[in-house]
Amino acid sequence: MGFGFWLASAASILLSRVGDGVAAVWLASAVAFVMLVRRERRTGILDYAALAVATLVSNLQFGSSLTSGLLYVVFNLGQTALALLLVDKFAGGLPVKARPSVRTFALILFLTGVVADSVTGLIFASFTYAAHGWPIFKTAWTFLSSNALGYALVLPLLLYGSKPALVLLAEPRALLRLMLVAASCVGLAYLALTYSRFPFALTMLPLMVFAPRLASLELALVCFLTGVACVAIAMTGLMPGLHSGIEVLSDGFQVSVAIIVSTPFLVGLSIEQMREDHARLAELETRWNFALVSAGQGVWDADIRNNKVQYSTIWKNLLGYEESELGNDPELWLKHVHPDDLDRVIAADLDHMQGKVPVYEVEFRMRHKSGRWIWMLDRGKAVAREPDGRVARAIGSMTDITERKEAEERLLVSATLLADEKERLRVMLQSIGDAVIGTDAENRITFMNPVAEKLTGATSIAALGKPLGFVYRAVDEESGRRLDEPHLADNRLERAEQNSRAVLVRSDGTRFSIRQVVSPILNENNEFGGSVIVFQDFTDARTLQRQLAHAATHDALTGLANRPSFIRTVEDLVAKSRRDASRYQLMFIDLDHFKPVNDTSGHAAGDALLRKVASAIKGALAPADIVARLGGDEFAVVLMSASHGVGEAAAIAILEAVSALEFIWDGQMHRVSSSIGLTQICAECGEANEIIAKADAACYAAKAAGRNCAFVALPGLSGNGVATPMTRVATGT
């Protein structure tokens, strides 16, 4: 866009401006206006910035001072912005569609080439008068006339030009004709401007002659070339009584040229659009007649004032007659109406005649030529009334609806059978032991059986017609995701879906574990028409499943994670470390002096002590840390922090917590302590079994050092993969 504006600016300045003055022919504003007005998006700051840069560059490039260049930037952008605002406000809004109507084009040309130019020109002239002493009227007139000619030349080309039109114009015959017409108009313009006493009228005459014969783009090109030729002829000094060179454009010559080129274009555009309108009307009439014939619509036209009725050929054919077999008797149609329908038909006709209803429409039977009765739909409307309100003329159509009526009879029988079948299904669903809810295509409840009422806590009377979520709120037990909305609400359920992890949440907050099956109801076109939800109370079975799942991963005595579960956790953390370089710490804990408790007080005492130790270890750690019982008196911990300081602090806390336990059984005091081995879990620390071996070795090192202390396995590896040497990091009290 910026390059196109710069090109138009440079051409205008180069050809029609002297010094820092106003260019006598300014095409750039019209080019910028059309570029912006045809865009789908609104004009933004970047668009104006591109225009500003192009204006400033073109002015500086051709000798303007920086001050003058900036002045032209401000007022050119102001003129363009004002033109866009006026067109948006008064000419149907932005963007302007391609090939606007002649009225819209004329309004755009007036708003841009006259109103916007006049307002901007007066402000510009006032400013330059105050700053440079330029004469106000002459400056404003030059600003207006230069922009007006630019809009008159450019708007038709850019608003009515299109790729299809250019392709047609590029055909040899069309191009040759255009060149001959343009040459004729330019040649006659030369003769008129150089030799005639009425140069402008005679210059316009050939354009007016060719206007009805040319397409809009062809006419725009011819007018453009003629306008450019007029300016060139005047500037070369060939017109009698005018100055030569740029001075010829100082007295408003551009306005005359703008009128010469815009008037024929408006006339030609009007004629072209009239031809297009007539063609569209003819096409619509042809389509209307074809539609009536194809639809079997018989038309009647009643002239009430003169007591005449015209029946179309199709109207007579509907009754089995040829055109010549029936006349146009006003009472003809009533003679064929079934006696049982006659009073109803006359009453409907009278209601419309008296203005009680806006349209006459009635279904009745008529006697066919064959003697059988056929159903007709008769529609009509008064199109003219007398001053006293009586109908003067009415027009209507008649349609054979016999097949529809017969289909309605068949549908009525089918509906009766369907109602019986529906009642049998309803009784069946009321009797089964599962809860059943039915919904329509909009996910509104259409059916609930008694079991569903019991589980949801809602009655059918209150639920029918309500959204499914009003009574049935099912969520996934693990993720909490709503199960009654994602598919049903947007009609994306295509096949039955089963979920055994669903939880039904009643309005009072009660929760039931359920197993649900949601099945779609699809019509013959495979379109979603609703759904059926079948669910059962699964609470007891789900509770048992949870207990079994918990027992498989947890130690029955302490409730901590068991050995298999803990090893899987370590393996998962090793894999995670290799993915994201995260680090953790692993502890092995072995109780000291535990065996004497079992030996002296029995296994029940040992079990009780193990539970207290498990509680003490958990209490010494952060909530995110993982604690497990590996078996016997062995425990393990995963610290989610990789900090050595956190590891040492955790070891000290566990040592102190275990040592502080006072365990009394049958009056006998027992005390135990712990030995702890600590190591890292990281990407470079080896496999899970190697890491566990390091922690185990560190734990044995702690026992060998006198118990009630913690050792850490340093990074160095021995030949068998166990970290050596060990370093004491904590000692119990």
List residues with catalytic annotation.
633
Distance, first Cα to last Cα, the chain = 83
Give the DSSP letter of residue 725.
S
Nearest Cα residue to 315 out of 401, 405, 403, 400: 400
Rounded Cα distance between 578 and 569, Å, is: 14
SS3 string of 632-645? CCEEEEEECCCCHH
How far apart (Å, rounded) are the C-alpha atoms in residues 324 and 147?
69
How many residues are given for the chain?
A: 733
Question: Could you give the CA distance from residue 31 to residue 546 in angstroms, rounded to a whole number?
Answer: 76
Which residue, among 73, 159, 68, 163, has the nearest Cα to 112 in the 3D structure?
Answer: 159
- Hey, how many other C-beta atoms are within 10 angstroms of the C-beta on 539? 14
Q: Are 691 and 681 in contact (CB under 8 A)?
A: yes
| Residue 501: partners with Cβ closer than 8 Å, 6 or more residues away | 476, 477, 478
Give the angle subtended at the CA of 9 by the CAs of 38 and 20, to the nearest 5°.
Answer: 140
Q: Given CA atoms 542, 547, 550, 551 in this order, what sign does their dihedral have?
A: negative
Which has the closest alpha carbon to 591: 661, 530, 537, 534?
A: 661
Q: Choose among 249, 244, 247: nearest CA to 194.
A: 244
Number of C-beta neighbours around residue 564 at 10 A: 12
- Identify whether the C-beta of residue 116 lies closer than 8 Å to the C-beta of residue 86: yes
* CA gap 64, 641 in Å, rounded: 72
Q: How far is CA 179 from CA 211, 221, 225, 360, in A?
A: 15, 10, 10, 60
Q: Residue 504: beta bridge partners?
A: 474, 512
Q: Pull the structure tokens for residue 3.
A: 């390059």
193: left (phi over 0), alpha (psi -120 to 50) or beta: alpha
* Neighbour-count burial for 299-309, b at 16+ CB within 10 Å, e otherwise: bbbbebeeeeb
- The answer to whether 697 and 677 have CB atoms below 8 angstroms apart is yes
How far is 110 from 102, CA to CA, in rounded Å? Answer: 12
Q: How far apart, in Å, are the Cα atoms of 463 and each of 358, 452, 460, 474, 501?
A: 41, 11, 5, 16, 25
CA distance 543 to 463: 30
How far is residue 198's CA from residue 256's CA, in Å, rounded to a whole number?
12
Residue among 51, 50, 62 at smallest CA distance from 23: 62
Q: Report how far apart, in Å, the C-alpha atoms of 154 and of each of 157, 221, 267 are.
A: 5, 9, 17
For residue 527, the SS3 value is coil
